[in-house]
Amino acid sequence: MIPDLPPPTLRLRIDEAALASNWHTLDQMSGSAKAGAAVKADGYGLGVERVIPVLRKAGAEDFFVAHWCEVPAVLAHIPAAMLSVLHGPLTAKDARYARETGVRPVINSLHQARLWLESGGGRCDLMVDSGINRLGIATHEIADPLIARLEIDTLMSHLASADEDSPMNARQLAAFRQVVQHLPARRTSLANSAGIALGEDYAFGLTRPGLALYGGIPRPELEGVIRQVAFPQAAVLQLRNLNAGDSVGYNATFTASEPMRVAVVSLGYADGFLRCRGPDSALLHEGRELPILGKVSMDMIVVDCANAPDLRDGDWLNVAQHLPDSSRDSGLSQYELLTLTGRRFR
């Protein structure tokens, strides 16, 4: 019998009240539309087992994943009728799986429409490409007889540049409005997190926030109303003394100019803390900055603990995770910062 695991050296605190507050904020900003929730990529890296119960209790009734492999973990928390799979059925086996589980496939092409109808059809969602040129049927395909045979629950499209004040937003809005006039559906949906901030014209009947639920701020309108949700922490593995001339880490990119005390911390790029986050950044201990020294390793980083002379082995350090600031400092998108969160966090 395998004994219980010892205490972790990586932990991730989820502020459930902030998550619920973010959903309520986005739902209110959606006006007469209802806010759903994108929970793909394991709840944007925070764990569907943690985020879905909170979102469901807050009032979310529509959830979205990308892959079929994500379905079982989500169905442990919500009824199948609340879940849509964005990539849709690529094979007959996918279509059969959708029918057997009761989840809604999002139809993205005439090929997928044919597969779904040949499997027996039924309730589905339909993605129409309004300009992003990813998944979705082309606007000239909406008159195809296959599309007319679909039982469309949610007719949707996806904005390409909602995080910018781009003329493309208005063009996509106009294109989607044209589609809505010609395709009957129970509901319509266009706006993601940034799209919600563009105003009620973009909300239609259902919005599909993702990033902003989890603390991301893709547009200035969301600053001050979206709260940070994820708070990663890493433990100090070892304290050590360096002499002048000693170097730290791979390729010796940092060399001490004088004696100094450093801490080796249980955090690395395997945990989503990529090397680009190392230069000129720091971990925090009780509000004090501990600058990162040398390169980020797979499982460890080294920090200067001059600002925390009382630091001990096993103490917890906070990883800065205010997503807009971390994005600016690292060059990573807020989406990457969230979804790269490693599985070793507990």
Determine the Cα–Cα distance for residues 18 and 28; give it in Å rounded to an integer. 15
Whether residue 222 is predicted with pLDDT greater than 90 in this model: the reply is yes
Secondary structure (DSSP) of 73-138: HHHTTS-GGGEEETT--SSHHHHHHHHHHTPEEEE-SHHHHHHHHHTT--EEEEEB-SSS-SSSB-
> Over the stretch 89-121, which tens digit does the pLDDT of each residue have?
999 999 999 999 999 999 999 999 999 999 999
233 CB-near residues (< 8 Å, 6+ apart)? 10, 11, 12, 13, 316, 317, 318, 319
- Domains, the chain, with CATH or none: 15-214 (3.20.20.10), 230-339 (2.40.37.10)
Active site residue 295: no
> Over the stretch 145-173, which tens digit does the pLDDT of each residue have?
999 999 999 999 999 999 999 999 999 99
> Over the stretch 185-218, which tens digit does the pLDDT of each residue have?
999 999 999 999 999 999 999 999 999 999 999 9
Determine the Cα–Cα distance for residues 152 and 123; give it in Å rounded to an integer. 6
Nearest to 74 by CA among 17, 95, 82: 82
Determine the Cα–Cα distance for residues 228 and 271; give it in Å rounded to an integer. 19
Active-site residue, from 40, 202, 214, 269: 40
> Over the stretch 21-36, which tens digit does the pLDDT of each residue have?
999 999 999 999 999 9
153 C-beta neighbours (distance < 10 Å), count: 20
Determine the Cα–Cα distance for residues 225 and 77; give it in Å rounded to an integer. 27
DSSP 271: G
Determine the Cα–Cα distance for residues 263 and 312; give it in Å rounded to an integer. 9
Active site residue 44: no
Query: 88: which strand partners?
Result: none
Active-site residue, from 44, 250, 295, 335: 250
Whether residue 342 is predicted with pLDDT greater than 90 in this model: the reply is no
336 CB-near residues (< 8 Å, 6+ apart)? none
